[in-house]
């Protein structure tokens, strides 16, 4: 099975769905990452790109693709982003796509969500993940990440320039990841989970 996870910036995918992707990789599925910008508004672009590559290795991703767009300036380039995503969908033929939830305070997240929805209109399984800037997120799918949670944290720690950039004093992205995993775990009736909202989820019942 081929899985494509898309994020607007380095570390979006890690906070939102890396536990699930790690499990997929461990089960022998091919995981691909598409990062639309290098996150240069939040740090040095080359450093953030290197951090993303390290995190992808921890997750067991097969490859990382880069959109080459400018951080915080995606809104007026949605058509180009759609065409880019379409090209990777054609190349990868993903069975599952993961992307940011549409209700988000960051304009890049909203733009990439809409772009993926358009580009992935014929993909059977499309799932939305949450990040700290997400609003009104009520998951209807839960994935138990207890067995891979420490690897998820290592993937997040690989983004060393971003760990403390939460805009909340003395709170790290690791703290947020732990809290979120416990909260979604309670909702999913396991100790640690990631939650998703499904745009489409195809279940084949024989």
CA dist 195 and 177 (Å) reads: 12
What values do phi and psi take at 17, rounded to 5? -150, 20
Structure confidence at residue 199 (pLDDT): 97
Residue 40: what pLDDT?
A: 96
pLDDT tens digit at each of 206 positions of the chain: 999 999 999 999 999 999 999 999 999 999 999 999 999 999 999 999 999 999 999 999 999 999 999 999 999 999 999 999 999 999 999 999 999 999 999 999 999 999 999 999 999 999 999 999 999 999 999 999 999 999 999 999 999 999 999 999 999 999 999 999 999 999 999 999 999 999 999 987 76
Tell me the pTM: 0.95
Angle at 134 between CA 95 and CA 82, to 5 degrees: 45
- Residue 122's pLDDT is 96
What is the set of domains in the chain, with CATH numbers?
2-200 (3.40.50.10320)
What is d(CA 120, CA 98) in angstroms, rounded to the nearest whole number?
10
What integer pLDDT is reported at residue 203 of this predicted model? Answer: 82
């Amino acid at each position: 099975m081929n899985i494509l996870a898309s994020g607007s910036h380095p570390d979006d995918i890690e906070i939102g769905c890396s536990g699930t992707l790690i499990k997929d990789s461990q089960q022998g599925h091919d995981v691909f990452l598409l990062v639309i910008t290098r996150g240069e508004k939040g740090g040095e672009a080359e450093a953030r790109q290197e951090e993303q590559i390290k995190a992808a290795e921890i997750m067991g991703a097969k490859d990382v693709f880069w959109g080459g767009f400018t951080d915080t300036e995606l809104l007026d380039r949605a058509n180009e982003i759609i065409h880019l995503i379409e090209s990777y969908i054609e190349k990868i033929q993903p069975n599952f796509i993961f992307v940011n939830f549409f209700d988000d305070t960051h304009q890049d997240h909203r733009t990439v969500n809409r772009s993926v929805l358009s580009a992935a209109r014929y993909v059977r399984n499309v799932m939305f993940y949450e990040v700290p800037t997400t609003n009104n997120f009520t998951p209807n799918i839960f994935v138990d990440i207890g067995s891979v949670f420490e690897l998820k944290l290592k993937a997040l720690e690989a983004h060393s320039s971003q760990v403390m950039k939460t805009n909340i004093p003395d709170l790290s992205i690791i703290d947020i990841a732990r809290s979120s995993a416990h909260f979604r775990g309670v909702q999913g009736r396991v100790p640690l989970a990631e939650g998703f909202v499904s745009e489409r989820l195809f279940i084949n019942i024989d």
